[in-house]
Amino acid sequence: MEACKGHRSLLTFSSGLGDAVLSGPSYRRAKADDPNSDFHVGVWNGGQEEVFRSIGATTIRIPVESKLGFRRRLKNLYEWPGIFVDIVKLIRLVHSYDRVICPVGLGPISYLAPFFRKVIPGDRERILPMPHPRQVLVTNKYMGFTLQDKIDDLLGINSLPYFPPKLGFSNEHSEIADRMWAETGLDPQRSVVCNFRTSHPTKDFTLSQVGLTFSLIRQHGLLPVVINYSPEGQRLLKENFSGHRLAFAANGSVLVMGQFLSKACAHVTADTGLAHVAGVVGTPTLIVFGPSDSKNWVYPGHDNVNSVQVNMSCKTLTCRSRQICHRPEVHCISQINMDEFAEKLYQVVRCL
C-alpha cells in the first residue's frame, strides 16, 4: 500500500451480510497502515452499511442492487433505461477515486467487471474475479475469508492475524435488544433464537425440521424465539405448532439483532448472514448447511459455532444464484441427519 498512501480509495464488493462482517478486518488493517488516507467503503444495502460503520468506516451507497434485483431488472425492457443510468452513475463514482478495490463476488458488479476493465483506466482496474465456492477447499479457509484474502491481496496487506472480525455496538443497540426480549416475555438465558428462513429457499428448514427443533429445545427446558419471519409466516407457524409456545422477534438493524443474539442461551439457524454475526458476538450457535458447504463457510476462529452438513453429492450451488436445479426431486435441507442435529443441538445448549 506504500505507493497508494494519501490517495482517495474506494473498497466495494457485491456480496452479502456475512461477507461484510468478515471483510471488516481488511478495512481496519488498511486504515491502520495509512490512517490519513481518504478510504471509503461502497455498500448496496443497509445491513452492509451498518456493519462497516460500526467499525468506523466511511460508507457510500453504490448505484447497483443485489444480484437478484439486478437480474430481475434485466428481464424487464422498461427497466433498461434505469439500469443504464445506474451504470453511468457507477462509472462516474469510480472515476472520482484514485483507487478502486473490487474483488468481484456474487452480484451485478461481476456482470460489469469486463466492461469496467475497458473503460476505467489506470489504478482503477483493480477489479478481479473470485473463485466459485466449490473451488475453495483449502484447510482452515472458507469462502468468507476467500473474499477477505482477495481484498488483502489487492491492498497489499495481511489483515487476519491482527484484526479478527468484530462489530461495534452502542448502548442504544443494547437497549433496543432488551426491549425486544421484554416483548417476547421470555428469559434470554432460557431461550434459543431460531432462524429457519434464508434468502435462498433451498436452504430453509422444512416444517418437520422446525417441529423437531422446537421439540428438542423444549426437552432441554428451553423455549424458542423465532426471528426473520413475516406476519404471514408467523401465522403459519402458530397454526402448525399450536402445542408449542412461540415468541417472535424482528428488527431491521443488524447490530440490534447482534445484541439480541448475544443475550440468548443459544442460536439455531440455517446458513445466513446472522450466523456470522452470532459467531462474532459469541453466542453458542448451530448452523445447518444444505446445499452450501460448512467447509467453506464456518470461520475456524469462532469456537462457539457448530454445524451440521447435509450428506449429499450435489454441490452445484446453482440454487444460490436462483438458477434451475438439476435435482428438483431433492429438497437439499431435508437430507440432514436429524440424529446428528439433535446431538449437536445438545452440545450447543449446554451453556446453562
59 and 91 in a single domain? The answer is yes
Residue carrying C-alpha cell 428451553: 222
Identify whether 161 is part of a domain.
no
148 and 196 in a single domain? The answer is no
Identify whether 166 is part of a domain.
no
Task: Please check the confidence at residue 64 and state whether its pLDDT lies above 80.
Answer: no
Structure pTM? 0.85
pLDDT of 190: 95
What does the alpha-carbon distance between residue 229 and residue 248 come to, in Å, rounded to a whole number? 8
Task: Please check the confidence at residue 125 and state whether its pLDDT lies above 90.
Answer: no
195 and 317 in a single domain? The answer is yes
142 and 35 in a single domain? The answer is yes
Give me the amino acid identity at 94. V
> What is the average pLDDT score of the chain?
81
> Please, which residues have CB within 8 angstroms of residue 42's CB and are 6 or more apart in sequence?
10, 11, 12, 13, 59, 60, 61, 62, 93
**CATH, residue 67:** 3.40.50
pLDDT of 9: 84
Orientation of helix 17-33 relative to helix 46-54, angle to 10°: 30
203 and 316 in a single domain? The answer is yes
Identify whether 266 is part of a domain.
yes
C-alpha cell of residue 75: 428481464
DSSP 265-316: SEEEEES-HHHHHHHHHT--EEEEESSS-HHHH--TT-TTEEEEE---S---
Identify whether 162 is part of a domain.
no
Of 45-54, 84-93, 186-195, the least confident = 84-93
Identify whether 46 is part of a domain.
yes
pLDDT of 139: 44
pLDDT of 323: 53
Number of domains in the chain: 2
Contact 279, 305 (CB under 8 A): yes
102 and 208 in a single domain? The answer is no
Identify whether 255 is part of a domain.
yes
What does the alpha-carbon distance between residue 273 and residue 312 come to, in Å, rounded to a whole number? 23
Task: Name the residue with higher pLDDT: 82 or 297.
Answer: 82
Identify whether 165 is part of a domain.
no
Domain termination residue (choose one: 97, 129, 155): 155
274 and 185 in a single domain? The answer is yes
Express as a percent the part of the chain with pLDDT over 90.
Answer: 34
Range of the domain at 270: 171-348
Considering only CA atoms, which of 278, 249, 266 is closest in space to residue 213? 266
Domain termination residue (choose one: 127, 155, 183): 155
300 and 337 in a single domain? The answer is yes
pLDDT of 143: 44
52 and 125 in a single domain? The answer is yes
Considering only CA atoms, which of 82, 113, 80, 136 is closest in space to residue 12? 113
The pLDDT of 315-327, averaged and rounded, is 53
Express as a percent the part of the chain with pLDDT over 70.
Answer: 77
147 and 184 in a single domain? The answer is no
120 and 192 in a single domain? The answer is no
Q: How many CA atoms lie within 13 A of 197 on its CB side?
A: 10
Identify whether 262 is part of a domain.
yes
Domain termination residue (choose one: 125, 155, 185): 155
102 and 126 in a single domain? The answer is yes
**CATH, residue 197:** 3.40.50.2000
